[in-house]
Amino acid sequence: MVTEEKQIGFTACNHKNIDFKNIALEELEHIASCEICAAQYAGFIEKQAMIKAPHYLKDNILKKSRAFSGVWNINKHIRLQMSWKRLQMFCYGMKIGLAMCGALAILFLVPVGDSQQKEPAVGVNFIDKMNRELREFSDNVLEYTDLLVLNSDANNKEDISHDKEKE
Amino acid sequence: MIFQTRSSGRQEEEVEKIDCDNYLEHLINAYGNLVFSICFRLAGSYFDAEDLTQDTFLSAYKNLHTFDGKNDKAWVCRIATNKCLDYLKRAGRNVVPMEDTYFNEVQCNKPSPEEYVLETDMKQELYNLCSHLKPPYQEIALDYFYYEKDISEIVKQSGKNVKTIQTQVYRSKIMLRKLWRKE
């Protein structure tokens, strides 16, 4: 049954008396794009004379289709893997980029003036303290060694005087 | 079932693949001879028609997901016509074989005297071409293309290796194609 759409298509394509027996290339191109004419052409071929296809043709086609679907599945798997790798690479790149932006933000946005004053003061206090303590320690060590020396001198002098009295 | 939208799940994909394979087999069984007839009529060569028929059905298999399932005969016929057009343009031919040359070579499987004569002529043509080949390709070509024996039968008969027979069939086909084009 011819529907309205088909009728419109029919008139638009100008399906007028295509001679299927002596067909031209332009008409063939039309048949390749028009469903109605293709069906008519198929009917003509079926009525006129059909040629028997080679006996091995079906097996060859089925073999190639199975090979094709196998290759297609492998390609699909490879494509999925590649897309997953690309996604991982993208996430990694985003992380690096965010980290860089954060570092730059901290560098430029955090106020520098107060910190410059504070940090040297803390540093200076700490260093001064350390210096003082070290000096005190060294002074104490020197005093102790001086005392030791003085005591040893005094003992030596007493010994000498005792020896002289005995003689 | 084939024309539903794809959903996730490996099982469903496998089921869909099996459906596609079954549908392809159905198309070959239903329209194999028709497509071959169209290709032979337009290409004019037996072996080129065979290649074009293979390309037609493989193209149909690849594009099954785009098919709406309404008129499969017309769809397959359109694919075959497109393939033949590409072949004619590639070969630099702007002429489609005329009816008289076509019917000189055509073979038909319908039971009528005229068609029987045509089939006999076709077979005779094939026999002549196979006879032009040198041994061992001559015997292989006759067995495979003329007597339509399977590879397994030829292997049993000749005692040769399967791969050897397959290679010889492939080479004899190439030679027959060249001979057919020359004529």
Span A114-128, pLDDT tens digits: 555 555 555 567 788
The answer as to whether B76 is a domain residue is yes
Q: Do B51 and B117 belong together in one domain?
A: no
Structure tokens at A166: 């005995």
The answer as to whether B1 is a domain residue is no
The answer as to whether B42 is a domain residue is yes
Q: Do A39 and A74 belong together in one domain?
A: no
Residue A121 has a CB neighbour count (10 Å cut-off) of: 10
Q: Do B28 and B68 belong together in one domain?
A: yes
Structure tokens at A138: 């060294």
Helix boundaries (H) for chain B: 10-43, 46-62, 72-90, 99-105, 113-131, 137-141, 151-158, 162-182
For residues A65 and A72, what is the distance between their CA atoms, to the nearest angstrom?
Answer: 10
Domain total in chain B: 2
Domain total in chain A: 3
The answer as to whether B80 is a domain residue is yes
Q: What is the ipTM of this complex?
A: 0.70
Return the closest-CA partner of residue B122 out of B93, B150, B145.
Answer: B145
Residues 6+ positions from B165 with CB-CB distance below 8 Å: B140, B151, B154, B155, B158
The region of weakest confidence among A44-48, A106-110, B44-48, B91-95 is B91-95
**Residue B95 clears pLDDT 60, i.e. is over it:** no
Q: Do A119 and A100 belong together in one domain?
A: no
Mean pLDDT, chain A, rounded, equals 78
Q: How many CA atoms lie within 13 A of B64 on its CB side?
A: 23
B2 touches chain A (CB under 8 A): no
For residues A126 and A122, what is the distance between their CA atoms, to the nearest angstrom?
Answer: 6
- Domain range enclosing B132: 110-182
Q: Do B121 and B163 belong together in one domain?
A: yes
Q: How many CA atoms lie within 13 A of B66 on its CB side?
A: 8
For residues B21 and B8, what is the distance between their CA atoms, to the nearest angstrom?
Answer: 20
pLDDT in tens, B79-92: 999 999 999 888 76
The region of weakest confidence among A144-148, B18-22, B131-135, B147-151 is B18-22
The answer as to whether B100 is a domain residue is no
Q: Provide the pLDDT confidence category of residue B179 given band limits of 50, 70 and 90.
A: confident
Residue A20 CA, chain-centre distance (Å), reads 60
**Residue B41 clears pLDDT 50, i.e. is over it:** yes
Q: Do B140 and B84 belong together in one domain?
A: no
**B interface mutation test: which of A51, A74, A77 has the most B CBs within 10 A?**
A51
Cβ <8 Å between A61 and B21? no
End-to-end C-alpha distance for chain A, whole angstroms? 158
pLDDT in tens, A71-124: 667 777 778 888 888 899 999 999 999 999 999 999 888 776 655 555 555 556
Give me the residue from B36, B96, B98 closest to A53, CB to CB: B36
Q: Do B86 and B16 belong together in one domain?
A: yes
- Domain range enclosing A129: 111-166
The answer as to whether A80 is a domain residue is yes
Chain A residue numbers touching B53 (CB-CB < 8 A): 53, 57, 61
Distances from the Cα of B124 to the Cα of A89, B104, B117, B118, B121, angstroms: 66, 12, 10, 10, 5
Which CATH number goes with the domain that contains B58?
1.10.1740.10
The answer as to whether A57 is a domain residue is no
Of residues B41 and B13, more confidently modeled? B41
The answer as to whether A58 is a domain residue is no
Chain B residue numbers touching A58 (CB-CB < 8 A): 25, 28-29, 32
Distance from CA of B136 to the nearest CA of A (A): 20
Which CATH number goes with the domain that contains B145?
1.10.10.10
The answer as to whether B159 is a domain residue is yes
The region of weakest confidence among A83-92, B23-32, B122-131 is B122-131
